[in-house]
Structure 1
Amino acid sequence: MWWKDAVVYQVYPASFKDSDGDGLGDIPGLISKLDYLKDLGIDVVWLSPMYKSPQVDMGYDISDYEDIHAPFGCLADMDELTHGLHQRGMRLILDLVINHTSCQHAWFQESRSSKDNPKRDWYIWRQPRYDASGNRHPPNNWRASFGGSVWEWDEKTQEYYLHYFAPEQPDLNWDNEETRKAIYDSAVRFWLEKGVDGFRIDTVNKYSKPAEFVNAPVTEPGSAWQYAYPLFCNGPKMHDFLKEMVRDAMDPFGEVMTVGELPCTPDAKEILRYVSARERELNMVFHFDMVYLGMGTVWKYIPEPFDLRDVKTALGKWQRFIQGTDMWTTVFAENHDSARSITRFASDAPEHREASAKLLALMLTTLTGTLFIYQGQEIGMVNVPREWPVEEYKDLETQNFYARMKDSTGNDPKEMNAAMDGIAYLARDHARTPMQWDDSENGGFSTGKPWMRVHDNYREVNVQKQLGEHDSPLMFWKHLISFRKQYHSLFTHGLFTEYGHDNTALFTYTKTLDNCAVSSTNGESMETIETKALISLNFSNSCKKVYLPEDCKAATIELAISTKDGKVESDTLGPYEGRVYWVR
């Protein structure tokens, strides 16, 4: 199972590298950086949506699964990308966005053309409700992910259609067998036949719709639309649909890598149904416990407090849960839907930024599971400055939140300042600023005006600069990836044990060799075997003494690696320092 030991790098095409000066990243730009990714130690590139799209939701509104968004390139470019990766011993996975399409997709255009169109039932249509005064209302009170109702009125056919996301993203009707077959042909087989190695599957638990669209409980009094995720995630036929898709559309192509985006599924037993090897549905899923920390329960971008104990709980839950099961897990701290991890979980202060970048890198590379890195994470990119005005933020979710807050508070200055604080801390836009390649204009991302403003710190934080510094975050990441692969049975597969949970400054854990996971080779090279490691991470801005667990005190402790450059002799960790010790 090659995907277990893989190191995956997510590319957000609009922001990675622009090859033609139009200000938008593209596939030829990505191709030009394949040697950089290979040198970093990447095994798999996960390419976020590059399909033909009106770009209402940055490509997650697909109008044609079998074509490319023209500014990104063409099908021939995709063939070149796949070949280039395979030639370098790397693989490619794509985003599989099949809960919904764009409203401009030919399928939906037919579906909304008339009530008796053959594709009418390919989407979810419902009659309106009427109150005692004869006023028309949507079928229920569910709030869409981007705000407003999940139902959009269609004037021509006098019915509502369902959209869990934006109105321009109508949900497909998976209960229709003909629809499912079309999805498999167009979105899955088409790309596997072109040599793609797998998929990150978007919103993988929303395909099966509930039998009845009952109202959600009122958690936000005064609002017409209520939080309803528990009602539309993990529907009654969800597992049947996934088993069918894997069996019919993927298995004929051999070992296809699948990783599911599985939000709002806190029950570990329910997750086991998705990723148990016996169930034959998904290889693994993303667990969002850590990424969701600090997000508001009513208003996502109104932050709520958390501390290191919450981070430890979030990570430890899935490290421990896979032990003794036949499931696999993922390790990540950033993606295109989250703010930057240094800002959120460590410190982006100039004096601590590089140390924090290395600290998080050391944590992630020593945890069990398939490792996912998001573009720019390897050079320590952070959230944009608080001073940026809301106009610089491009994401639909951010702009909708700001507009709702403006409307609900009467544009109260204090409330709007708090809203901007939340945006500056949590908005998805922070992950979408252009990649910082060098200190030239626009950070070397583009010779034209970038579609989104480049981070102000690009002259201090960029790839070219860090390649020339042996102790930079980039070079440390490169070293750590090699280190992880050298000891992959211990770090990628090892057993996790946490110590000192209530300590709000130190994260201490051991990794112990799981004999069942030991293999004699890692790719083409022999693996070095160590049986136990102690990891000590200081998530504070002051010095802390390394905590030595009782079961390590009688052993010989030898430093293996530190986030600090040079020889480390004391048992005291500096601010945001992390270390790995061999325990023998």
Structure 2
Amino acid sequence: MTPWWKNATIYQIYPASYKDSNDDGIGDLPGIISKLDYIKSLGVNAIWVCPMYDSPQHDMGYDVSNYEDLYAPYGTVADVEALIAGCHARGLRILLDLVINHTSSEHAWFKESRASKTAAKRDWYIWRPARYDADGTRRPPNNWRSFFGGSAWEWDAASEEYYLHLFAVQQPDLNWENGDTRKALYESAMEFWLRKGIDGFRVDTVNMYSKEQSFRDADILDPVNEWQPAASLVCNGPRIHEFMREMGAILGKYDAVAVGELPNTPEIADVLGYVSEKEKKLSMVFQFDIVDIGFGPDLRFNTAPRNWTLPDLRRRVRCTQRLMDGTTDGWSTAFLENHDQARSVSRWGSEASPELWARSAKMLAMLVASLSGTLYVYQGQEIGMVNAPADWDVSEYKDVDSINYYSFVREKSGNDPVALDAAKRSLDHLARDHSRLPMQWDGSPNAGFAGETAKPWMRVHDNYPTLNVERQTLDQTSVLSFWRDLLRVRRENPRVFAEGVFVDSDPLNESVFVFEKRSETQKLFVALNFMDEVQAVDLKEKLDQPFQTLLGNCDEEPLDALLPYEGRIYLVEV
């Protein structure tokens, strides 16, 4: 029997930005509960809620100070229980975010760990002594760079050692080599919530728990900077699969699903180590081949906007589809957006006109929904939300990654306006902030995210009067209506949509993406124009058998051309 999650669509919710029920400017769990009927109407099978745990919010909840309590503005444990019940009453499942590579520096465990070198929980985190230059200058234990920039080590003056933080200074890494640490994590972060009836987890940074234990310097990949990327030493470490088996045993006890965030793992054999069905570890993983396109080679934002080509995008799509080609027992996911990515229309579509915006949003929806794997849709993607306007001041950016990068450029360039302008343009294109703007529910002040007198924690997009759920619900040709039709068609044909074998028919084409999906009895032909000009395409030969047009984003269907950003999905019975 096929597990429910293989043919599912899962809707991701960022609590702070979804729906504010009490007009304090911050989204909350009662707000999510109030929108469950809307979520159900989309045709999705489950929701994934980003971290709602107690946290000082240095990284929007990915710095957990108490796994068993909530960030007060979001609600209470009772609200989580009500959300679980509300989902299950509607036939929806619910996944929570599992953040266990690190905690907040305000977690009780870390407070005890840093109390002294002999503290009972000292070894629950990763502490190392300083290195000293010949002149006595104190240095961190190695040259590892934090994923948010700067050294991955922070000096603790009280206990006179450095602690490791692969992310923000306020996110100290847990020491998974310590069995007591793991047991406490499994109980507090996993079983506490599984016993309440959740259906699984999205597992944050799932391949970083086992570090290379020599803690040697990383290779010099970025000679200009003192701190070096260390992914090869902190990802997919020597004990990671031992840890995954322990977690898998807990998940199996509750028949829970788990999707792991798996960066820096390009080889299919390594990915399969996490998701092979016989291994009983994770159900599936997020691979980042597609969404990482156009990033800088060493620093994410050290790049120019739209620095990508269609052949590269096609190659990356093929890489994510290999797990579902019928030769492995693994499983993966299909997604274009999440809380860590800019909006897909702004990256790969068009905002040049309302017509091209809507058409490109639908075209990108056809791309991702036609791919095999479990489909993930991020809040606002279903109405085609776009990046913040480029004329907003950089002060509107709230994310720690954005702030750190802009400060880094300012310091390195000596406040050079040309360098800062380039940094701003890169943030305008790729910043995580864009996905965190409040959800646009209607045309009232604050877009219906909060009441008129509230001040949202992030500024609402200027386009909310015309781009919102209410307006699109009333329009049968809207992006929202298209998504609903698309998800219905995907549900009705699971073997060829979610499970079909992907075949790219013209991998070097720089304008048009035509691919096939094959099952034993059906074929999909998907034709997508990624350009703002009409493109010639020969579909007659491919559609030599009786075919059905499942969906398209334009009225006319000539088989020799595609309009700008046009997309079509054809079904052939074989």
TM-score normalised per structure 2: 0.97
> What corresponds to 2:464 in structure 1?
458
Structure 1 position 546 matched with structure 2 position 534: no
Structure 1 position 534 matched with structure 2 position 525: yes
Structure 1 position 75 matched with structure 2 position 77: yes
The one of 555, 560, 575 aligned to 2:550: 560
> What corresponds to 1:491 in structure 2?
497
Structure 1 position 511 matched with structure 2 position 517: yes
> What corresponds to 2:170 in structure 1?
168
| Alignment of structure 1 residues 42-57 onto 2, 5 Å | 42-57=44-59
| Alignment of structure 1 residues 402-421 onto 2, 5 Å | 402-421=406-425
Alpha-carbon distance, 1:567 to partner:
5.5
Provide structure 2 residue ranges, at least 5 long, that are not aligned to the other structure. none
| Alignment of structure 1 residues 49-448 onto 2, 5 Å | 49-247=51-249, 249-253=250-254, 255-303=255-303, 305-323=307-325, 324-351=327-354, 352-447=356-451, 448=454
Q: Distance in 1 between matches of 2:543 and 2:402?
A: 50
Letter in structure 2 aligned against 1:261: E
Structure 1 residue matching 2:213: 3-state secondary structure: coil
Alpha-carbon distance, 1:549 to partner:
7.7
Letter in structure 1 aligned against 2:266: P
> What corresponds to 1:37 in structure 2?
39
Provide structure 1 residue ranges, at least 5 long, that are not aligned to the other structure. 516-529
Moved more, 227-236 or 199-208: 227-236
Q: Distance in 2 between matches of 1:184 and 1:50?
A: 18
Q: Distance in 2 between matches of 1:319 and 1:165?
A: 29
TM-score normalised per structure 1: 0.95
Q: Distance in 2 between matches of 1:542 and 1:101?
A: 49
* Preserved contact between residue 536 and residue 547 of structure 1 (Cα < 8 Å): no
Letter in structure 1 aligned against 2:345: I
Root-mean-square deviation (CA, aligned residues, Å) is 1.3
Letter in structure 2 aligned against 1:582: L
Identical aligned pairs, as a percentage? 50
Structure 2 residue matching 1:575: 3-state secondary structure: coil
Identify if the C-alpha distance between structure 1 residues 217 and 570 changes in structure 2 by more than 3 Å, giving closer, same or farther. closer
Q: Distance in 2 between matches of 1:143 and 1:334?
A: 26
* Preserved contact between residue 16 and residue 30 of structure 1 (Cα < 8 Å): yes
Deviations 1:498-519 (A, max 9, x none): 1111111111011111x4xxxx
Q: Distance in 2 between matches of 1:553 and 1:231?
A: 49
Q: Distance in 1 between matches of 2:440 and 2:256?
A: 32
| Alignment of structure 1 residues 13-28 onto 2, 5 Å | 13-28=15-30
Alpha-carbon distance, 1:545 to partner:
3.0
Aligned length in residues: 565
Moved more, 292-301 or 333-342: 292-301
> What corresponds to 2:6 in structure 1?
4
> What corresponds to 2:566 in structure 1?
577
Alpha-carbon distance, 1:317 to partner:
1.6
Letter in structure 1 aligned against 2:280: R
Alpha-carbon distance, 1:569 to partner:
5.2
Moved more, 213-222 or 499-508: 213-222
Q: Distance in 1 between matches of 2:533 and 2:99?
A: 45
Identify if the C-alpha distance between structure 1 residues 143 and 105 changes in structure 2 by more than 3 Å, giving closer, same or farther. same
Letter in structure 2 aligned against 1:539: F
Identify if the C-alpha distance between structure 1 residues 570 and 236 changes in structure 2 by more than 3 Å, giving closer, same or farther. closer
Q: Distance in 1 between matches of 2:400 and 2:532?
A: 35
Letter in structure 2 aligned against 1:561: L
Moved more, 368-377 or 216-225: 216-225
* Preserved contact between residue 334 and residue 375 of structure 2 (Cα < 8 Å): yes
Q: Distance in 1 between matches of 2:525 and 2:145?
A: 46
